[in-house]
Structure 1
Amino acid sequence: MIQEYFGLTGEPFGKEILPEHLYLSLRFKELLARLDYGVKKRYFCLVTGDIGTGKSTAIRILAQNLDENKHKLLYLSDSNLKPRDFYRELLFQLGSNPGYLRIDAKRQFNQLILDYFEKRRITPIVVIDEAHLLSHQMLQEIRFLTNFRMDSLSPMALILVGQPELKGTLAMQIFQAIAQRIQVRYHLGGLTLEETGAYVAHHLEVVKARSQIFSTEAIKEIFAYSKGIPRLINNLCIQAMLDARIQDSHVVDREGVLRAIEDFRKF
């Protein structure tokens, strides 16, 4: 509906956008650079940010850019896993049949990680998404993931990804042993007003929009409502463009964005 009405080559502001077409803000580029550095150095990394800021997108880009001959990505996003199931899932992703007992699965995982690193010359990368939802028991278990050969070897990179409250959890005294091991940290915030305008313009350019569509005042309202969070920007832009279609207009103005915001607040 939007695509045909505005004469676009594709649906704008969708999740299906190719990585090479993503808008990369300065903050996002900084995050990618730190993740790349952390992987190369086999560091323990912490990435935090509000919902919709692009944390998982950054991990997706990281995974896409990895050399499969040199890296093995292991991705977990199940926050309800207990330690035994945690090791079992990692072993499944490594192509190994895990032992039943936690201690056996843990020993098996450690040995396999060393095998990848020392014999196959492949660096494992363990990414744990939604880490702010992990139990205290699981967070304590993660501490041991970084302890190889009495803490003298780092055969893998470990990346925790979660919402801002994860920083507060790790600041607690009982987790100091974990926090002190984190070598790369980054908090991904929202876009600035200027970046929000550039973000909207970029997404429209990707689908070959023939005009700017969104007025300057509309962009200001989008930024005020979304606080520069890309997912909220996407949703609001789509709703505002639908409103423009209903109003028989090819321009999204301030009033159209305000109507879209009002619709959001009803649900």
Structure 2
Amino acid sequence: MFKSFYGLTLNPFDKSLAVKHAFNSKDHKNMLDRLNYLQKTRGVGVFTASPGMGKTYALRCFADTLNPNIAELSYICLSTVSINEFYRQLCLELGLEPLSRKADMFKAIQERVRYLLKEKKKTIMIAVDECQYLDTRILRDLKMLTNQDYDSSDYFALVLVGLPHVNNILAKPVHEALAQRVVVHYNCEGLTKEETTDYVYTRIEAAGGARSIIEEPAIHAISGYSNGAPRIINSVMTNALLLGAQLQKKTIDSEVVLAATNNLILG
């Protein structure tokens, strides 16, 4: 409904927007830089952020840049599973047939990543999203999976992505050995006020719209409400566009944004 009213070719705040339209915020750039470093060095990387800050989207953008002949990102998002179920997921991601015994799957996974790196010159990156939900035994086994050739080589990169309290989990004595293997650590802080303004305008322009669709003070109101979380910004803007079209307002102002945020709060 609002697309034709505002002259947009698509919803610029839909989460399925092509990665070519990704906004290069400080957080986004820092995550990509560190993921690229991790691809080259391997080892363990930890990326944390509050919900909706764009960490998973950054992973998707990074995966899109990889040359499949030299690197591959395996993505696991179901972290609330048993240790055997986790091993089965990992086997499937690596093109292996899941086995009945954990020890056999452990050995097969280690041999697979070693073969791909040594023989095929291909780096495997295993990304585990929502890692704050991982069972302690899984985290312990992930540490052991990285231990090859008497702990002298890293044959794959492990990317742990989750909420900030992941840091508290890794700080526990039981996970000290895993924490010591972390070579990259980054916490996303969200978009600044200036970045939020650029983000909104960039997305509108990507959909063929004009900046005049929304007033800058209205964007500042969104920035304050969202605390820089792109997911919340997207929700508010989508609601604001819907309301603006219903009210026949060619320019979205702070009043429309306030109504849009109230709609979200009330559900």
Question: What band does the TM-score fall into relative to the shorter chain?
Answer: over 0.9
TM-score by length of 1: 0.96
Partner of 2:147: 147
Partner of 1:75: 75
Which residue is equivalent to 1:212? 212
Q: Aligned-pair distance for 1:83?
A: 2.4
1:170 maps to 170
What CA deviation, in whole Å up to 9, does each residue of 1:150-205 have, x standing for no partner? 21011111100111111111112222221111000011121000100000000111
> How many residues end up aligned between the 2 structures?
267
- Specify the alignment match of 2:110 in structure 1: 110
2:17 maps to 17
Q: CA-atom RMSD, angstroms?
A: 1.3
Which blocks of at least 5 consecutive residues in structure 1 are unaligned? none
Q: Which runs of 5+ in 2 are unaligned?
A: none
Deviating runs (4+, > 3 A) in structure 1? Answer: none
3-state SS in 1 of match to 2:95: coil
> 1:183 is paired with a residue of what secondary structure?
strand
Shift of 1:93: 2.4
1:240·1:260 contact (CA, 8 Å) conserved in 2?
yes
Instruction: Report deviation, 1:90.
Output: 1.9
> SS of the residue aligned with 1:11?
coil
Map Cα deviations across residues 14-35 of structure 1 (whole Å, 9 max, x no partner). Answer: 1221111111112211110011
Tell me, in whole angstroms, the C-alpha distance in 2 between the residues paired with 1:234 and 1:88. Answer: 35
Residues of 1 paired with 2:103 and 2:237: CA distance? 51
Deviation of residue 210 (structure 1)? 2.9
2: CA distance between counterparts of 1:103 and 1:210?
A: 58
Partner of 2:94: 94
Matching of residue 181 in structure 1 with residue 181 in structure 2: yes
CA distance in 1, matches of 2:111, 2:60: 27
8 Å CA contact 1:99–1:108 kept in 2: the answer is no
How far 1:97 sits from its partner (Å)? 1.8
- Within a 5 Å distance, the mapping from 1:186-265 to structure 2 comes to 186-265=186-265
What CA deviation, in whole Å up to 9, does each residue of 1:239-263 have, x standing for no partner?
1111112222111111111111111
Aligned mates of 2:49, 2:221 — CA distance in 1: 22
| Percent identical residues | 33
- Secondary structure of 2:182's aligned partner: coil
Distance 1:112 1:246 in 2: 56
Q: Distance in 2 between matches of 1:96 and 1:217?
A: 54
Give the Å deviation of 1:99: 2.4
